[in-house]
């Protein structure tokens, strides 16, 4: 099974693609979709859509996990991230792929066993679970991989609760 994980953002959207076979994870690719801050928002969203579509076409994931927007104080940031997230969700839906959405505490819990883990703990577990020599950089790419791992864990138990 091949899973794409996404950490939405307008400046950088982190992504990670993992293959899972018999419960073993392998990192296929990871990175970020970056958009220039001075570019108008419609063009930034268009770039995010186009690059995600290219990733889907090239790597053919079976399903996609995406982080939910979670901002307590900065409403402006939440709105712009929400715009990017909407573009990502639409692109995934247009590709006909199943989507799972996860809050930051769910992602932390699925990857580390502790829903209040800090970023360094999540990155260390991503590195260990994927048997990587180095921690994925930038942080958004590691977060994309964490979302993919989370999606696998939730997806495999989904049918038990239907």
Query: Of these residues, 51, 140, 143, 158, which one is catalytic?
Result: 140
End-to-end CA distance of the chain: 21
67 is catalytic: yes
- The one catalytic residue in 67, 101, 109, 143 is 67
CA distance 126 to 120: 10
R_g (Cα) of the chain, nearest Å: 15
**DSSP secondary structure letter of residue 69:** P
Is 139 considered catalytic here? no
According to DSSP, the β-strands at 12-21 and 2-7 are antiparallel
Find out whether 31 and 22 touch, Cβ atoms under 8 Å: no
Residues 33/87, Cβ–Cβ less than 8 Å? no
How far apart are the C-alpha atoms of 96 and 17, rounded to whole Å? 17
Is 162 a catalytic site residue? Answer: no
Tokens of 92: 């995934």
Q: Give the catalytic positions in this structure.
A: 7, 67, 140
């Amino acid at each position: 099974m091949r899973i794409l994980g996404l950490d939405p953002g307008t400046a950088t959207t982190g992504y990670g693609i993992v293959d899972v076979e018999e419960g073993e994870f392998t990192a296929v690719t990871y990175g970020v979709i970056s958009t220039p801050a001075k570019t108008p928002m419609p063009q930034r969203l268009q770039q995010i859509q186009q690059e995600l579509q290219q990733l889907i076409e090239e790597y053919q994931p079976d399903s996609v996990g995406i982080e939910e927007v979670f901002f307590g104080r900065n409403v402006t940031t939440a709105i712009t991230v929400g715009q990017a997230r909407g573009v990502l969700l639409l692109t995934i839906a247009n590709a006909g792929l199943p989507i799972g959405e996860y809050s930051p505490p769910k992602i932390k819990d699925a990857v580390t066993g502790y829903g209040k883990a800090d970023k360094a703990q999540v990155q260390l577990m991503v590195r260990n679970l994927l048997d990587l020599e180095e921690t994925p950089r930038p942080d958004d790419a590691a977060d994309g991989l964490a979302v993919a791992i989370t999606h696998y864990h939730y997806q495999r138990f989904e049918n038990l609760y239907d």
